[in-house]
Structure 1
Amino acid sequence: MSARRRRPAPPDPFDPGAVEVRRVQPYQANKAYTCPWCHRELPRGLGHVVVVPYGAADLRRHWHHGCWQKRVRVG
């Protein structure tokens, strides 16, 4: 009998802090955005992260990777 791997439970979609974080590679960054943390530009061609709240895809935001990490540490 093989052991099954347990997958982590999916985030609660009703939790207001539940988000999906996706990495955007430099070759995928086709538009410029403004980071909501530092308010500086994410130029076209710069790798970054996209943060999407579960159940609210229209509220997705593009962040510098370092800014997202600082925000997570700060809380």
Structure 2
Amino acid sequence: MSRRRGRPRPHRAAWQPSSHEVQQRRDGEWNVRRLSGASSNKTYTCPGCLHPIAPATPHVLVWPVEKSLLSADAIDERRHWHRDCWHRRP
């Protein structure tokens, strides 16, 4: 009996967000992605106010353009923020 050969799987690249913008803050440049929250089913804690971001709540996903010394990649430092908390951040 012959073995069935499937198609080779494409190489999975590092995670890349679908669309984001770079914003300048006092502490450097940050990638910012707006999320509608529609596909979110998890509660996150906003680092700006330390309050929960409920599932299905619009918010932003933020990570530095340049990684810190202790991270393997900048995307490992991503955080979910309330939109207003992020905009109030200096």
TM over 0.5: yes
Q: Provide the secondary structure at the position in 1 that maps to 2:84.
A: helix
**Runs of 4+ displaced beyond 6 Å:** none
Give the corresponding residue for 2:61: 50
Give the counterpart letter for 1:59 in structure 2.
E
Structure 2 regions of 5+ residues with no counterpart?
1-21, 68-73
The Cα offsets for residues 22-71 of structure 1, whole Å up to 9 and x where unpaired, read as 00112132311000010000011101000011241100010000000111
- TM-score, normalised by the number of residues in structure 1: 0.69
Equivalent residues, number: 58
Name the CA distance, whole Å, in 2 between partners of 1:22 and 1:29: 14
The aligned amino acid for 1:41 is: P
> Which structure carries more helix by proportion?
1
1:69 aligned onto 2:87: yes
Kindly name which structure, 1 or 2, has the bigger radius of gyration based on alpha carbons: 2
